[in-house]
Amino acid sequence: MVIEKDKMVSVTYELKYDDADAQLIEKVEKDNPLKFLFGAGNMLEHFESNLSGLSVGDVFDFKLTAEQAYGPVTEQAVVNVPKSAFVVDGKIDDNLLKEGNSIPMMDSYGNKLHGIVLEVTDEDVRMDFNHPLAGEDLHFKGKVIEIRDPKPEELSGCNSGSCGSGCGSGDCGPDNHSAGGCGCSC
C-alpha cells in the first residue's frame, strides 16, 4: 500500500529549522506518531506532496520554504485586542495576560487561533497571531510507519491526528505536531 488520498498515514520525523544551526523544533517518535487522513486538507500541502507515493518503511528527507510551509510573517497578524475580550466571570486573569504567553482564541468566523501576548496596556492587549513557524524554512526527516484504510469515522473528519473543517486556522499546539496537523478530539 502506498500513501494516497483517503489513506490513514502515520509517520515519525524530526523537524529542524533549515538554516546553518539546524536547531531541532520537534521530534515525533513511534510512541506518539503523527497520524492523519492523507488528502483531507488538514496538513501542509507541500508536506503531503513530499509523502505521496511512499510505502511503509520508506524514509523521507525534504525541505520546505517559508512560503511552502506557514508563509511569511505578516504585520496584519499583529493586532490590538480590547482587554474586555479577556473578561471571564467578571474579571481578567492577570496571569494569563503576561508578555510571551500563548492564548487560544477564536475569530469572528469560529476559527481557532493562538495569539502571543506582546504587550499589555490599560485598554488593550497587543497580540501576534502569526503561526510560530511563519517566516521559517523547515527541514523534515522521517519515516512512514503505517498506511491503512480509514475507519468510517475517520473519513468524516474525526480521528486522533486531524480533524474536519477549521484546522487550517493554525490551531496546532505543541501536542498537535508542526507538520500542519491538528490534534483535535471528536
End-to-end CA distance of the chain: 27
Q: Which helix (H) or strand (E) holds 67?
A: none
In angstroms, the CA 76 to CA 64 distance is 23
DSSP state of 84: G
Instruction: Please check whether residue 36 is in contact with residue 53, taking contact to mean a CB–CB distance below 8 angstroms.
Output: no
Domain spans of the chain?
A: 8-70+136-169, 75-128
Phi-psi region of 90 (alpha: psi -120 to 50; beta: other; left: phi over 0): left
Collapsing DSSP states into helix, strand and coil, what is residue 31?
coil
- Best CA proximity match to 8, nearest among 32, 44, 34: 34
pLDDT tens for each residue of the chain, 186 residues long: 999 999 999 999 999 999 888 899 999 999 999 999 999 999 999 999 999 999 999 999 999 999 999 999 999 999 999 999 999 999 998 899 999 999 999 888 988 889 999 999 999 999 999 999 999 999 999 999 999 999 988 887 544 444 333 333 333 333 345 666 543 333
Task: Give me the CATH code for the 8-70+136-169 domain, please.
Answer: 3.10.50.40
| Fold that domain 75-128 belongs to in CATH | Thrombin, subunit H (2.40.10)
